[in-house]
Amino acid sequence: MTDQRAPERGTSEPEATVTQGKRRSAGAVWLRETAIILVSAFILSFLVKTFLVQAFFIPSASMEDTLVEGDRVLVSKLTPGPFDLHRGDIVVFKDPGGWLPSSSTADQGAVAEKVSQALTWVGLLPQDSGEHLIKRVIGLPGDRVASEGSGEPVTVNGVAIDEPYVAQGVSPSDISFDITVPEGYVWVMGDNRSDSADSRYHLGDPGGGSIPIDNVVGMTFIKVWPFDRLGLLRNPSETFTEVPDPS
């Protein structure tokens, strides 16, 4: 009687080749889809940063107690633009020249620096403070902003304003000034008036201390980090309710 044994189970060479091909194909699909997701995320982040929202961090104490050093904030790039600036808005703006001291950044290595620059460029890291400042808009184009100094209140178009956002125990201004904001400019001041080299300290600059609206990156609208300081930054519109339009 002939011994008929069942063929041994296993994978023939052609079948093994097909299986390996499927694995390589699946790996290629995974890599392609991952690359598409990453590229799409970078593009979306770049578009959001360019046209809608950008992250910044607070580098100094000039806006205390509203913002403290190390806070991370988001800035709406729709203001100015589709939406107008208002008195009381907190804005990030590019240094018009001479507002920031030249400073050297710590060397983090060529590769790390390039990666940091790339992530900042696409908006995945907050913008550094190398050429940007953050202050509150007090005067709009045409407004007359003044103070007699020595702790006297700031006036806008002849009306003394009550400023609840000014740091506790700090006077509205120890410096006297009286200026009419030029067209295309805004007058800005820090909330921590005793520690803010704001428009008052640049009276001899072009614009008389006011900054060009074209330099404004956008309006700060929320604190996002640290989490225990998360919160919206609302415009104190009641402060300027009685201020008339410039004559």
The residue annotated as part of the active site, out of 49, 135, 196, 199, is 135
For 194, phi and psi rounded to 5 degrees? -80, -10
The residue annotated as part of the active site, out of 49, 60, 62, 147, is 62
Active site residue 77: no
> Could you tell me if 167 and 192 are in contact, meaning their C-beta atoms sit under 8 angstroms apart?
yes
Q: What is the dihedral of CA 167, 168, 170, 172, to 10 degrees?
A: 60
Helix-strand-coil split of the chain, %, nearest 5 = 30, 20, 50
Active site residue 102: no
| 8-state DSSP, 133 | E
Rounded distance between C-alpha atoms, residue 101 and residue 111, angstroms: 26
Rounded distance between C-alpha atoms, residue 247 and residue 245, angstroms: 6
CA separation, residue 58 to residues 11, 31, 71, 153, 195 (Å): 64, 38, 5, 26, 14
Catalytic residues: 62, 135
